[in-house]
Structure 1
């Protein structure tokens, strides 16, 4: 019915709001590196060009991967905090199912910017048209054949961004001779994020067990359930990144407030 469709699209809009926040943060950080990439391309310095591309991709993934895990793990309390007083059951399921979109949309946007920095402005547009065509077909297949309802849009969106990542990555390798490094860019941040997610989930469940009344305490109660797990998980993720050598002192200094972070790590003897 029309009313049911409105409910589905409303929940989808709320889900998109949730995953757009970390995507925006990730893109702002990585896009700040693009001017230096453009200078490297203009100077013809191949080594520096590849270093700048690697830095943009790495910084994006260092934020996007833990954000995706955090959104998936804390989908229930975060949804109930932001949209208190509503039935968020559909939104929670959408968020848990579509958390991976944070990673692929962040990476696709960053690789779009990299291609622009390489003076290949038309390439991301062609890739977007091709990915959109596949996206439309997938939505129809998921809806009409698999009867997945509003989840069809979520999964098709993820595959759209994933296809953009593949096409952009192939073009970057072609035009810049760049080969993606996976251990420090994907594998170690993923391991750190999974451990971080375990810590966040454990703290959230512990708080619910100790103070079940917080679940019915409105927005204030949900804030008490959300902010401690988020704060602890951020600290856990940062410590794990340094301890597992997913990021070194030089790379950390290139990030915003990086010098202060290096001093803090040395003060607590992480470096």
Structure 2
């Protein structure tokens, strides 16, 4: 179980809660956005977003993690001047790489979209400037994470998502009203408006981070002034370190996350070759990318938060040769993530159809079927995200890159074979491929961690006990929802009651199975509130 003093769990918990809030905001606005855009418009938005994400992965996505690692190593040695040079070098790196990626999106985006989905080009061009600003925002977040403070990143994430939600719906509605003349242009301009919201969100997050930096500028420079370290790094040396450190991490994340873009292109091109109508393909991808993926990304974001919080601590432990302590931190991070992700996966599967119908009334049955079949991906994807972060933290960025490449090949082969041999499977071929990718990554990363850190998974406490508690929760959730629905056929009421009761049952069973103490529970997200509830229920005395 977790140690008494644990900065990792505190930071991860704080970032998890902020990430969860921002994801919920993102989830809630998807329904009105879907109504404004329509299924085809959501498809165009999804295709443009896939290209945007790929370019973002190359230029900016992993910059917070990389900057956090490099800066935290220097802070651990009290090299404040060198840490600041790394920060400045990372900003220069981000502006160059982010600028190039933004130009590629704007001028060459048509070559990156599937041949039968060129209507998404306007949305992609709206997203192009966002890549540049995201790169800068990534450096700012990584810099403060290196100082072991997750508050700036957390608050900026929430503000970013609020601005995204408001502007996406408003801009889509205004563009449709102003320029749409038929069903096709309605979808095109709606998707473009949704893309504008992403840019507004990033600019909001960046403005907040700049304000935070300005507020801390004096204290930062005081530390630099007191720095007595004589070996000052040159800017050329700093840029070389950033390039050698950031580039492998970026390419690792790129390879690991490239599956979404490749899946969308292979899936669309093969079904187009098989004679499936473009609108049918776009509609299926719209439900997959905007409904199913949005839902499973909520618990997955929690694993990403844990990984971000783990990076500085793992890097510090490793550089000091404290391997035992590093392994303890890894298991604590996994336990914290599985505490949330395993019951989330079970709940999404058991209540798949009610969830999709309540949150996305305009969706068909496809999103519910996808959620039922694919919710298990949450567990494997969360674990692979954490293990990727650990390998990068100990300076083995090439290992997850290799593992990701192997897994990506398996993913591409699966989606290509399934789409070609059984086009009637539709977007389920993509779902199966994504599951194979996640499982392969988990296995390969576990082997690598055992080799380089001697790490052994605590299967009983990390996975077995949360799964046992979640299984009991799932039974209760199913019985309560469908039993209550027979008496009160109002989905949102039945879903709300079943989710609340299921959460309480899970917490009770988890405490019983794991024998978690009050002090240990307090370190979990919202731990103090959970303890109060469990005391009312007489679980804790």
How high is the TM-score relative to the length of structure 1?
0.89
Q: Deviation string for 1:135-160 (max 9, x for gaps)?
A: 11111222233443211100100110
Q: Contact between 2:315 and 2:394, CA under 8 Å: does it hold in 1?
A: yes
Shift of 1:18: 0.9
How does 1:88-127 map onto structure 2 within 5 Å?
Answer: 88-127=364-403
Contact 2:306–2:386 under 8 Å retained in 1: no
Q: Note the alpha carbon deviations across 1:6-39, whole angstroms, 9 max, x for none.
A: 2211121111111111111243245423332222
| Cα 1:44–1:244 shift into 2, 3 Å | same
Q: 1:167 to 1:124 in 2, by over 3 A?
A: same
So what's the TM-score if we normalise by structure 2?
0.46
Match of 2:495 in 1: 226
Q: 2:419 aligns with which of 143, 151, 154?
A: 143
Q: 1:167 to 1:194 in 2, by over 3 A?
A: same
Q: 1:78 to 1:17 in 2, by over 3 A?
A: same
Query: Does the residue aligned with 1:119 lie in a helix, a strand or coil?
Result: coil
Q: Which residue of 1 aligns with 2:320?
A: 43
1:173 aligns with 2:450: yes
2:280 alignment partner in structure 1: 4
Question: Which of the residues 485, 503, 514 maps onto 1:245?
Answer: 514
How much has 1:245 moved relative to structure 2?
A: 1.6
Gaps of 5+ in 2: 1-276
Which residue of structure 2 aligns with residue 219 of structure 1? none
Look at both structures and tell me which one has the larger radius of gyration over its CA atoms: 2
Determine the structure 2 residue equivalent to 1:191: 468
Provide closer, same or farther for how the CA distance between residues 39 and 251 of structure 1 changes in structure 2, counting only shifts above 3 A.
farther
Give, in whole Å, the separation in 2 of the partners of 1:50 and 1:203: 40
- Alignment check: 8 A CA contact 1:115 1:121 kept: yes
Distance 1:68 1:240, change over 3 A: same
SS in 2 for 1:32: helix
Which residue in 2 is equivalent to 1:74?
A: 351
Figure out how many residues of one structure are paired with residues of the other and give that number.
262
CA distance in 2, matches of 1:178, 1:10: 40
Note closer, same or farther for the CA distance 1:210–1:32 as it changes in structure 2 (3 Å cut): same
> What per-residue deviation string (whole Å, max 9, x for no partner) do you get for residues 110-147 of structure 1?
11111122221222222212211111111122223344
Of 198, 207, 214, 2:484 maps to 207
Q: Deviation digits for residues 52-109 of structure 1, max 9, x if unmatched?
A: 011111111111111111111111111011111x242111111101111111111111
Per-residue CA distance 1:166-223 (angstroms, 9 max, x = gap) = 11111111111011111111111111111101111111112211112x2xxxxxxx32
- Kindly provide the CA deviation profile for residues 210-246 of structure 1, in whole angstroms up to 9, marking residues without a partner as x: 112x2xxxxxxx3222221111111111111101126
Is residue 518–residue 531 contact of structure 2 (8 Å, CA) maintained in 1? yes
What is the alpha-carbon distance in structure 2 between the residues aligned to residue 19 and residue 246 of structure 1?
Answer: 29
The farther-off stretch of 184-193 and 245-254 is 245-254
C-alpha separation in 2, matches of 1:175 and 1:144: 40
> What residue in structure 1 maps to residue 304 of structure 2?
27
Structure 1 gaps of 5+ residues are 215-221
Whole-angstrom distance in 2 between the partners of 1:261 and 1:10: 37
Residue 264 (structure 1) shift? 5.4
Task: Name the SS for the 2:524 alignment partner.
Answer: coil
The CA RMSD measured in Å over matched residues stands at 2.0
